[in-house]
């Protein structure tokens, strides 16, 4: 397949944030892998011409609790397949199902159920690629629970950590935890030694405690600014350390409700190349207003473009955000398009060690999204196979 496009953002630049923008450009792939990419007219007649919009790498979302009415922690193969296939509508070609805090035995059982689902969906042959499971909790701060049930929060003792590692063997890929808890620094080392990415989140930690976690192997901060100790000019907190510490990449929910546009732009300016976009989507995403569940407990989605769902007490509980909308929202705040695309593609892919994803470069997976001029998904390919959009080429 050879595509000629009015604009291509390859997102293949270094961690500094440099990104190639080809206008016009072309890309070809063979057997699901990018073969060539270049600027100017293609070397031969293309199979497909994209006269407007922008061709970007497929979007990579590291935090998806649910979508299209489905909570991924509590569902079956058919629903996972449906979500994986339909996420292509949003330009997402790879994602991480996320299980929030629940009783430890229940969380372990959910991880065991996910094993077979992950095995069938990891290669992208059934839809968007499943990258492994993200356990957001239960090792979080009772002072910063957000929408998590405080009754189910526990300290990360070696037995509890080992239980989740055993249950999630081979597919537990990421865990969000609070480094100030008793036993947390040992748990950071236990998880990282097992190949699980550790992210600081739902945390009341000081900057020093976050730094200690980074020394132990933590490399991320989950949904920057939300459910964590904020930055004060005499107390940097989680936020200040996240922005200042080159060892840490922070995820950010760019629905302009969790974080204002101005503050999101400040984060990008303060930590270039170290911010990645997530949706934190709940089961209500892609659905009409109504009642849904997150962590097995009710959430309500009201009318309003981009308005996040809430618990009965008004606490924000996940989002109804699309990844392509997250990119568009950032661009509207003044973040450059190439930087916004990188934050939704290469940066999260690199963070989990998937350098075959998130960029348009020779040898990378042919996961691509064609966005309109207003950055809405028009077509999506996973492994060179078109999953969404009218038949093209």
The answer to whether the Cα torsion of 318, 322, 326, 329 is positive or negative is: negative
Question: Which candidate, 372, 351, 371, 350, places its Cα nearest to that of 361?
Answer: 350
Q: Which two tokens stand for residue 88?
A: 């292509």
In whole angstroms, what is the distance from residue 364 CA to residue 36 CA? 10
**How is residue 68 written in tokens?**
């299209």
Cα 66 from Cα 226, distance rounded (Å): 19
CA dist 124 and 130 (Å) reads: 7
Q: What phi, psi does 276 have (nearest 5°)?
A: -120, 145
What is the spatial order of strands in the sheet that 368-371 belongs to? 21-22, 8-9, 54-57, 368-371, 377-382, 385-388
CB 254, CB 330: distance < 8 Å: yes
Do 57 and 358 contact (CB within 8 A), yes or no? Answer: yes
Running along the chain, 393 residues long, what does each successive block of 10 average in pLDDT?
Answer: 97 62 96 97 95 97 98 91 97 98 97 91 94 98 97 97 95 98 98 98 98 98 98 97 98 97 97 98 97 96 88 96 98 96 98 97 98 98 94 68
- Cβ 392 vs Cβ 3: under 8 Å: no
Are 222 and 200 a contacting pair, CB within 8 Å?
Answer: yes
Of the candidates 28, 10, 123, 34, the one whose C-alpha atom is nearest the C-alpha of residue 365 is: 34
To which residue do tokens 């699980």 refer? 196
Q: In this structure, what token pair is assigned to residue 48?
A: 């497909």
Q: Annotated catalytic, 106?
A: no
In whole angstroms, what is the distance from residue 91 CA to residue 378 CA?
8
| Cα separation, 212 vs 246, whole angstroms | 14
Beta-carbon contacts of 215 under 8 Å, excluding residues fewer than 6 positions away, are: none
CA 116 – CA 331 distance, rounded (Å): 38
- The model's pTM is 0.97
| Separation between Cα atoms, residue 14 and residue 71, nearest integer Å | 35
Quick one: how many helices (H) and strands (E) in the chain? 10, 23
User: Which structural domains are found in the chain, ordered by start?
Assistant: 2-55+360-388 (2.30.40.10), 58-351 (3.20.20.140)
What region, left, alpha or beta, does residue 32 occupy, with left being phi > 0 and alpha being psi -120 to 50 degrees? left
Of 245, 280, 324, 350, the active-site residue reads 280
Pairwise CA distance, residues 224 & 222, whole Å: 6
Candidates 329, 298, 328, 327; CA nearest to 312 is: 298
- 197 strand-pairing partners: 174
The pLDDT of residue 116 is 85
């Amino acid at each position: 397949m050879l595509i000629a496009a009015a604009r291509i953002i390859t997102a293949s630049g270094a961690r500094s944030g440099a990104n190639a923008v080809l206008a016009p450009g072309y890309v070809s792939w063979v057997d699901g892998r990018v073969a060539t990419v270049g600027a100017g007219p293609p070397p031969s007649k293309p199979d497909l011409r994209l006269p407007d919009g922008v061709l970007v790498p497929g979007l990579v979302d590291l935090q998806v609790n649910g979508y299209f009415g489905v909570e991924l922690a509590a569902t079956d193969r058919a629903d996972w397949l449906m979500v994986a296939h339909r996420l292509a509508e949003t330009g997402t070609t790879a994602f991480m199902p996320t299980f929030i805090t629940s009783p430890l035995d229940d969380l372990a059982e959910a991880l065991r159920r996910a094993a077979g689902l992950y095995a069938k969906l990891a290669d992208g042959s059934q839809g968007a690629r499943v990258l492994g499971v993200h356990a957001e909790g239960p090792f979080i701060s009772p002072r910063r629970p957000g929408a998590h049930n405080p009754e189910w929060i526990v300290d990360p003792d070696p037995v509890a950590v080992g239980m989740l590692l055993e249950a999630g063997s081979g597919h537990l890929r990421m865990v969000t935890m609070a480094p100030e808890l008793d036993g947390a620094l040992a748990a950071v080392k236990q998880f990282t030694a097992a190949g699980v990415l550790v992210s600081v989140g739902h945390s009341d930690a000081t900057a020093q405690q976050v730094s200690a976690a980074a020394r132990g192997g933590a490399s991320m901060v989950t949904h920057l600014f939300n459910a964590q100790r904020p930055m004060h000019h005499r107390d940097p907190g989680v936020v200040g350390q996240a922005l200042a510490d080159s060892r840490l990449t922070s995820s950010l929910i760019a629905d302009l409700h969790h974080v204002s546009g101005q503050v999101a732009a400040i984060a990008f300016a303060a930590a270039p190349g170290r911010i990645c976009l997530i949706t934190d989507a709940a089961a209500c995403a892609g659905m009409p207003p109504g009642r849904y569940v997150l962590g097995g407990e009710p959430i309500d989605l009201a009318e309003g473009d981009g308005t996040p769902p809430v618990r009965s007490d008004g606490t924000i509980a996940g989002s109804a955000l699309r990844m392509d909308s997250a990119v568009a929202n950032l661009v509207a705040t003044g973040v450059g398009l190439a930087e916004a695309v990188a934050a939704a593609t290469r940066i999260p892919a690199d963070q989990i060690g998937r350098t075959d994803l998130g960029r348009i470069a020779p040898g990378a997976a042919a996961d691509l999204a064609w966005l309109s001029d207003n950055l809405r998904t028009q077509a999506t390919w996973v492994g060179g196979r078109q999953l969404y959009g009218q038949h093209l080429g």
